[in-house]
Chains A and B, each alone.
Chain A
Amino acid sequence: MYSQGLIGADGKTHEDEAFLNAFQARIDAEQKIEPNDPMPQGYRKTLIRQISQHAHSEIIGMQPEGNWISRAPTLRRKAALLAKVQDEGGHGLYLYSAAETLGVSREEVTDQLLSGAAKYSSIFNYPALTWADIGAIGWLVDGAAIMNQIVLCRCSYGPYARAMIRICKEESFHQRQGYEIMIALCNGSDEQKELAQDALNRFWWPSLMMFGPPEGDSVHSSQSMIWKIKRFSNDDLRDKFINATVPQAEHLGLTIPDPDLKWNEQKQGYDHGDIDWNEFWRVVKGDGICNRDRLKKRRKVHRNGAWVREAALAFASKHAAQQTADAQIAAE
């Protein structure tokens, strides 16, 4: 769902100049880099970190919404939410696979998530308190994710770009089902409309934080930009998101909780109020409302599934011959 605000990237690399120049020439010619191609260590490390953070975000992102599947108000909403949460799990799997092409194992990255060493998007450390939050998450959180991910479809690393194309095709349904929930609430009773406004109030600022802190002018000379892993600054994407979302809020008759939000004729976009980056860093560093719960739950699920993984592997090794036969049938 997210990866723009890559946390703690280290693009440092130590190859000789000829190697780096040859690599950069390929990047500048918009050639995709594929798994077995020579690449700088720093490029590999940055991507492993970014793609696995992105994958972890998809997996942890299943929790706030998964919590509401059994309480969805109608069968239609339940089916949609179930499908969306299943998609997020799929996104995590596409992304883990892309990370693995860079030489890291699934077990290693899973371990990094479970031990708390790896980061994931700060947005998923906020609770989904009401049904309206499910609407707001689809509309705003998936909406912000789409802004990030559309650009990542052009990332210089082939497997990441391909995973993003697949993911982007699926995200549009996520945002639309969320917005539809918001429409239904806003056309409902005063109480329902209040729920919708309250969800927007709580999710607006954390959604803006999803793009990561401003990088200043240095961003265009940053290693990720030069390597074309990233193509827009955090602020540029955030502005695009705000410009797209404000009219959608107006259509719902809801108020964006930012008194400083103003149309700027000159830049043909909105100016917004200050974002509380202290809150962002607090949540990233583990002190959000749900950080502990999210990891606790993830660990528990992983632990409870251990016997299944063990049994499956034991069965597989005992039935190796059977397995060959199955593969033949599958190939027909």
Chain B
Amino acid sequence: MSETATPLWEVFIRARNGLSHKHAGSIHAADAEMALQAARDVYTRRGEGQSIWVARSSDIIASDPVDKDMLFEPTASKIYRHPTFYDIPDDVGNM
């Protein structure tokens, strides 16, 4: 295994205009242009996409699962951020 590793890229695909790009998977490629071509071959063989983004996996900064409670738990108690928290009489109709 004397070979240099070929960089890893994350692939994001916009299924059609009006939707946002969504993570589809990853791909190995030497550079951005080849990553786009490979992503097109591997992830859009059946009209799955209108547009592709690729980003080097090493450039993605991810939150640590260990911090999950610290980051996301506080929102659980803030139920007043949801519309159902507020009482509106039925006869007012939809709001």
Contacts and interface: CB of A to CB of B under 8 A. Distances in A.
Interface in A90-136: 90, 93-94, 97, 100, 105-108, 111
Interface stretch (A52-60, A227-235, A324-332): A324-332
Nearest to A331: B53
Contacts of B65: 34, 36-38
B36 interface: yes
Interface in A311-332: 312-313, 315-316, 319, 323, 326-327, 330-331
Of residues B1, B4, B31, which shows the largest number of chain A Cβ atoms within 10 Å of its Cβ?
A: B31
A309 B7 CA distance: 11
B75 interface: no
A168 B86 CA distance: 44
A163 interface: yes
Contacts of B53: 330-331
Given A313-B6, A327-B32, A36 B54 contact: no
Interface residues of B, number: 28
A100 B6 CA distance: 13
A108 B1 contact: yes
Given A36-B64, A37-B65, A90-B42, A330 B6 contact: no
Contact of B25 (A36, A105, A163, A316): A163
A314 to B, nearest CB: 9
Given A34-B65, A93-B42, A327-B54, A309 B6 contact: yes
Q: Is the interface of A mostly helix, strand, loop or mixed?
A: helix
Given A94-B42, A106-B28, A312-B34, 4 more contacts: A86-B41, A309-B6, A312-B29, A313-B30
Interface of A: 34, 36-38, 83, 86-87, 90, 93-94, 97, 100, 105-108, 111, 162-163, 166, 170, 306, 309-310, 312-313, 315-316, 319, 323, 326-327, 330-331
Interface of B: 1, 3-6, 8, 25-34, 36, 41-42, 45-46, 52-55, 62, 64-65
25 contacts: A34-B65, A36-B64, A36-B65, A38-B65, A90-B42, A94-B25, A94-B42, A100-B26, A106-B28, A163-B25, A170-B46, A306-B3, A309-B3, A310-B4, A312-B6, A312-B29, A313-B4, A313-B30, A316-B30, A316-B34, A323-B31, A327-B54, A330-B52, A330-B53, A330-B54
